[in-house]
Structure 1
Amino acid sequence: MTNASSADDTVTAEDFREILAQTRVFVRDIVMKREREIAEQNRMPDEIVDQAKAMGLFGYAIPQQWGGLGLNLAQDVELAMELGYTTLALRSLFGTNNGIAGQVLVGFGTDDQKTRWLERIASGEVVASFALTESGAGSDPAALRTTAARAGEQWVINGEKRFITNAPVADLFVVFARTRPADENGAGISVFLVPADSPGVEVGPKDRKMGQEGAWTAEVYFRDVRVGDEALVGGNEDIGYRAAMTSLARGRVHIAALAVGTAQRALDESVTYAATATQGGTPIGRFQLVQAHLADMQTGVMAGRALVRDTARAWVAGEDRRIAPSVAKLYCTEMAGRVADSAVQVHGGTGYMRDVAVERIYRDVRLLRLYEGTSEIQRLIIGGGLVRNAERTTK
């Protein structure tokens, strides 16, 4: 892919069409043909990883000045809908580089930190992991217990993180740690850049998950890990909580788009099956109850796509970066779950068999309602935000 752009350093519509077309070919002609292999071996083939790097996918959302393609969020979601059409392990390869880990550096890093890390993140030379979640602090980052304490000219980090995407292959951990108790000045959470080979960093065995084979997660332990002030993102102890919330909100729009892409695949598989599979010599797609399933699936996919696009537009315009991302994530991930369930139902017993795409999709999409904020947390953000907005306008 090229990263040619207009004078204001944004990707032109023409260039983006080329990027999108190349991604679609990559997904549908190369990755989809190897989905079974990826699932059975629980790993992404090296040649697919290398091709993703060559295409610029490890840095599609990193600004061009730091070596990325420079897609904005409105373009990001279109790409995500294409990536969602195949195994979600593909997107997971480079999702944190572009998303919740990379965006912390893009939005909050110092120039020196950006210079040191972003070009290598964008090229795929460095795999960055977002180390926030803990056993007692998942959807509520304010509850995290990992600590970073001053020791002369250094910080000493102690704690445990879990479910960390790409941890087994990570080169850099973006680690959130408490530097003081929460007070009137803020949450007391800072974020540090910790190379994976730092003494005291230990990565546990790969998690065994319900789905998303090929996408690796693991626990990460930090035991007296020492880093200097250059590792403190933004050079500011109070940036951590805001960086986490901002990156997660942006990431929720991306996950919503990913859910739409996966739901579209489940729908397409179901329509094809309904048109070709027969019962009593009649294609099952002619049965009205099967058509009802397909109609509900199509309605959900179209509504989700429109919502994602509108939410991304509002984000880019700076109109809503709080409530709308949660609305999109809530609706689209719940919708993808319903569509996947209907897809299995349309396929009947066949849909329950391994090596059938909708069976894998059924397991894969379940995670979308959990990570980067559960559906319950999204409801709290939406409902609480609406009430607070109303309270401000009535004062």
Structure 2
Amino acid sequence: MTSTAPPSAVPEADPAAPAAPAAPAGGFRLRKPDLSRLDEITAALADTAGEYDRTGEFPHAAIELLHEAGLLTATVGEEWGGPGVSFSDLARILLALGRGDTSVALIATMTLVPHVLAPGRPWPEALYRRILAESAERPTLINHARAEPDTGPGGGTVARRTAKGWAITGRKRFVTGAEGLAYFLLWAVTDEPQPRLAVFVVPGDAPGVEILPTWRQLGMRATVSNEVVFTDVEVGPDDLIEFDGFDAPRPAGGGPAPDQEHANAILLISASLYLGAARAAQDHVHHVGYTKVPHQLGRPVGVTERFRRTAGEIEVLLSTSEQLILAIAGKLDRGEVVSGVEALAAKVAVIRDLTRAVELAVRLLGSAALSQTGPLERIFRDVQAAGVHAPQEDAALLGIGTSALNDYGQRFA
């Protein structure tokens, strides 16, 4: 890793030196991640993953590690002083993080994805510049606060006009990393005669923000994805990044607004973190295969036909999933079109296969796999969350099937 000191403003050029390239729009450069250190970071995260899972505490030290390694801002575009990593490298980063600690990986993903989409979303430039400046100095986590207990996105969360901007009241659930967020990307509807949907940027420490300790899930415990109550939380008139129907501020990075097809491809790449968890389960299987020597067998269990056959099936499932993710990521890197159906189909296949691989690992190792003395019990619980992220499999299959039938109908006609 390069220097761990926070990056500062670009220094003045030496008059005798050749002219430097124009400064990025942010006025500073964010740390470029050293991807050759990913194995080291994976090992460091794995060392603390079990304890964070046991306590359910927010993983502050792990997030600080990712910040120092430049991984939390890896997807910030070069025009904004970021490294602008490729989609393929993003997949590799998430796979490495998930291999170490799935919860930490998900928290990081929720920050990395908004930066991926920022160039096509109407972030006000001053607001985005401020967030990037903070990101250069310290971990600056951001995440959408969208789901609600009783309604859809936005739904029961209302933003009303005030003399200073907006005051927002509502309740959100499943807010990954809630207590560690620097900013909530809060979905709300306006209280106008014709309500409109907006995404407001709310500081995590704003008055009126209350985090409720409601996260008691089977797995992903260290994501601390609690419910958050917003009571008359005030934001400025321009502290929003999307608006349905209003005149939007100028996009931070320019370019077209991202469509749903592009978003579906990002969802597929995000599944890399769960593939990383499955790879960690595979690592544990291999370790047992080499080190467990039953007295009655007199040699490592890994030499048995049953063990080797199951290890082979696990590798087939995981290697094909990895190839599928990297193939889609490579198409995006080359500027090729990835349809929403193609991305959704790949996501369904990847999640099915990685989940199946972990189930096979548990069956192979038997009751020892479910002991809290080893990592496989935690990993098994964590990967159950892979299929929960929207769109879930039933919705994805409905969309995929509808598209396939429509395509056939057009040819048949």
2:120 equivalent in structure 1 = 107
User: Quick check: 2:275–2:322 contact (8 Å CA) kept in 1?
Assistant: yes
Aligned pairs for 1:244-263 (under 5 A) are: 245=260, 249-263=264-278
User: Quick check: 2:58–2:222 contact (8 Å CA) kept in 1?
Assistant: yes
Say which SS state the counterpart of residue 270 (structure 2) adopts: helix
Larger radius of gyration: 2
User: Quick check: 2:196–2:244 contact (8 Å CA) kept in 1?
Assistant: no
| Equivalent residue for 2:200, pick from 192, 201, 218 | 192
Range 223-232 or range 303-312, more displaced: 223-232
Could you give the per-residue CA deviations for residues 69-93 of structure 1, whole angstroms, max 9, x where no partner exists? 2112121001112112112122134
Structure 1 pair 61/123, CA: closer, same or farther in 2 (3 Å)? Answer: farther
* Distance (Å, rounded) in 2 between the aligned partners of 1:189 and 1:393: 38
Structure 1 pair 49/224, CA: closer, same or farther in 2 (3 Å)? Answer: closer
**What TM-score comes out, normalization by structure 1 length?**
0.83
Say which SS state the counterpart of residue 370 (structure 1) adopts: coil
- 1:297 has 2:314 as partner: yes
Measured on the aligned residues, the alpha-carbon RMSD in Å equals 3.3
- 1:33 has 2:47 as partner: yes
User: Quick check: 1:87–1:212 contact (8 Å CA) kept in 2?
Assistant: no
- 1:167 has 2:178 as partner: yes
> Unmatched 5+ residue regions in structure 1?
10-16
Structure 1 position 157, deviation (Å): 2.3
- 1:224 has 2:226 as partner: no
1:120 equivalent in structure 2 = 134
User: Quick check: 1:160–1:221 contact (8 Å CA) kept in 2?
Assistant: yes
Structure 1 pair 85/194, CA: closer, same or farther in 2 (3 Å)? Answer: same
Structure 1 pair 364/268, CA: closer, same or farther in 2 (3 Å)? Answer: same
* Distance (Å, rounded) in 2 between the aligned partners of 1:122 and 1:71: 16
Say which SS state the counterpart of residue 294 (structure 1) adopts: helix
Say which SS state the counterpart of residue 368 (structure 1) adopts: coil
| Equivalent residue for 2:89, pick from 46, 50, 75 | 75
Structure 1 pair 47/205, CA: closer, same or farther in 2 (3 Å)? Answer: closer
Range 242-251 or range 268-277, more displaced: 242-251
Could you give the per-residue CA deviations for residues 298-352 of structure 1, whole angstroms, max 9, x where no partner exists? 1110110111011112333241152233223222222221111111111111101
1:233 equivalent in structure 2 = 241
| Equivalent residue for 2:369, pick from 351, 368, 379 | 351
Looking at secondary structure, tell me which structure has more helix per residue: 1
Structure 1 pair 122/77, CA: closer, same or farther in 2 (3 Å)? Answer: farther
Aligned pairs for 1:305-320 (under 5 A) are: 305-316=322-333, 317-320=335-338
Structure 1 pair 110/389, CA: closer, same or farther in 2 (3 Å)? Answer: farther
User: Quick check: 1:146–1:177 contact (8 Å CA) kept in 2?
Assistant: yes
**What TM-score comes out, normalization by structure 2 length?**
0.79
- 1:87 has 2:101 as partner: yes
Tell me the amino acid that sits aligned with residue 345 of structure 1: R
User: Quick check: 1:180–1:189 contact (8 Å CA) kept in 2?
Assistant: no
| Equivalent residue for 2:187, pick from 153, 176, 185 | 176
Structure 1 position 388, deviation (Å): 4.8
* Distance (Å, rounded) in 2 between the aligned partners of 1:44 and 1:201: 18
Tell me the amino acid that sits aligned with residue 231 of structure 2: R
> Unmatched 5+ residue regions in structure 2?
4-20, 25-31, 249-256
* Distance (Å, rounded) in 2 between the aligned partners of 1:132 and 1:231: 17
User: Quick check: 1:53–1:123 contact (8 Å CA) kept in 2?
Assistant: no
* Distance (Å, rounded) in 2 between the aligned partners of 1:209 and 1:336: 20
Aligned length in residues: 375
* Distance (Å, rounded) in 1 between the aligned partners of 2:129 and 2:165: 21
Say which SS state the counterpart of residue 234 (structure 2) adopts: strand
Tell me the amino acid that sits aligned with residue 41 of structure 1: T
Structure 1 position 370, deviation (Å): 0.4
Say which SS state the counterpart of residue 369 (structure 1) adopts: coil
Structure 1 position 151, deviation (Å): 4.4
Structure 1 pair 271/289, CA: closer, same or farther in 2 (3 Å)? Answer: same
